[in-house]
Amino acid sequence: MGIERRWLDEREHRAWRSYLCLRRRLGARLNHHLWADSGMSEADYEILAVLSEHPEGRMSALALRCRLLWEKSRLSHQVRRMEERGLVAREANPADARSAVVRLTPEGRTAIEGAAPHRAERVREHFIDLLTPEELDTLTRIGERVAARLDALEGPGAPAA
């Protein structure tokens, strides 16, 4: 017996394609501005933002990878490139000698503190200011519902398949 396929109807297809287009175009626009405003890539920004929000400015590579939903090799290569520029440093993990801790350097903190206000303004310009407070609330509920479903299926912080 075959599985019954539920195709998207016209309305559902339009909503899905609209979301995909929004995600790609908004991401590309924000990445362009991030580079122009700070000389930073999206990957640089994500790592620096996560580390800067952590109380000690450091996290185990595993915790950072899980938070970003990245593959191990992607994080390793990105951290290496950022180390070469002095934005982060890798240290031995005192809790597990086989793993590393990624630490935000003073240069990395300066970089994220310089980039964040521009990033926030660009997100506001191209997204937040285009929506009403009610639409923002609806979008938040949608995002939280989808995330909860994915967490139930995969577990919170599970690496992307």
**pLDDT for the residue numbered 30:** 97
Positive or negative, the CA dihedral 27, 30, 35, 38 is negative
The pLDDT tens digits of the residues spanning 16-26 come to: 999 999 999 99
- Give the chain's radius of gyration (CA, Å): 19
Of 123, 136, 125, residue with least CA distance to 27? 123
Tokens encoding 85: 């520029």
161: pLDDT confidence band, cut at 50, 70 and 90?
very low
DSSP state string for 57-119: SEEEHHHHHHHHT--HHHHHHHHHHHHHTTSEEEEEETTEEEEEEEEE-HHHHHHHHHHHHHH
CA–CA separation, 72 and 102 (whole Å):
13
- pLDDT at residue number 4: 84
Tally of CB atoms within 10 A around 129 = 9
This prediction's pTM: 0.85
Tokens of 22: 């929004």
84-137 pLDDT tens trace: 999 999 999 888 878 899 999 999 999 999 999 999 999 999 999 999 999 999
pLDDT single digits (tens) 33-46: 999 999 999 999 99
User: What percent of the chain has a predicted confidence (pLDDT) above 70?
Assistant: 94
| pLDDT for residue 49 is more than 90 | yes
Phi, psi of 9 (to 5 degrees): -80, 180
